[in-house]
Amino acid sequence: MNYFVNDKLLRLYSIIITAIIIPSIIHGQVTVPGAPVYTDINAYGDRIAIAGRDGAPFINTYSNIEGSPYFIVHYCPATLKLNKGKEYKNILTKVNLFTQEIFVIDSANTEIIAKEGLVTKISLFDTSGKKMKFYQFSTGYPAIDKNTSYTYYQVLSDGELQLLKFTTKEITEEKNVQSGEISKKFITREEYYTFCNGEIKKFKKDKDGLLEMMRDQKGKIQDYLKDKKINFRNISELTNLFNYYNSITGKKPY
């Protein structure tokens, strides 16, 4: 009788291992040391401590490179929207502009990387300064240049006509003539795009091009330009112009 009970328990344990443990191993793929990829975000919650399981700081894999690959070097609380429509709030998040990856802190205080294509929209709140700063990132745009549908763009202005900023970090090397030592550092490259009616275009900062894009509101835009006398090389002033245009078209942003 005891052998029968033990045999049933053995089979039960086998089922549990097959149903729970093995899928977890299959779904997790290691892309960098200590950072498994998860296909869903169902265990994330509010986190305030940024440390590993043993309480030690995370290892900086870019320690030999000057600068940072991240949009903001520290973790910020964010609202993440997933590709199936689910939304999660207060997730500690970092955007890696070098790898185009999203780093988050899971419920076990472990730094992990979201699977490519999982996170489609990010609302990032930087509360480190005296005044909170808000940033929006979105993916899913048509491929253009070397960018794919998984590329993250910062949404500067949202609505009928989106103004997008693509920022990437690249590594440059410099050799010391005297010592022969090679130093590495991150440099930032920025490009701007517009998105409207399913089409993404490289943004040219000129008046004629803007009036053509905003031709359905041409009269109001011309009045705005006369009143504000904006500098077409100033992205902040151009963002305000896009915000004005989107405000009079009536389409709900983001």
Residue 30: C-alpha distances to residues 20, 21, 33, 203, 244 (Å): 19, 16, 7, 37, 45
- 254 SS3 class: coil
Per-residue pLDDT 10s for the chain (254 aa) are 333 334 443 344 333 333 333 233 223 332 333 344 444 444 343 332 333 333 333 455 677 889 889 999 999 999 999 988 889 999 999 999 999 989 898 777 778 888 888 999 999 999 888 899 999 999 999 999 999 999 999 999 999 899 999 999 999 988 877 777 888 999 999 999 999 999 999 998 888 888 999 999 989 999 999 998 889 899 999 999 999 999 998 765 44
The pTM is what?
Answer: 0.74
Amino acid letter, residue 140: G
| Mutual angle of helices 218-228 and 235-249, in 10-degree steps | 140
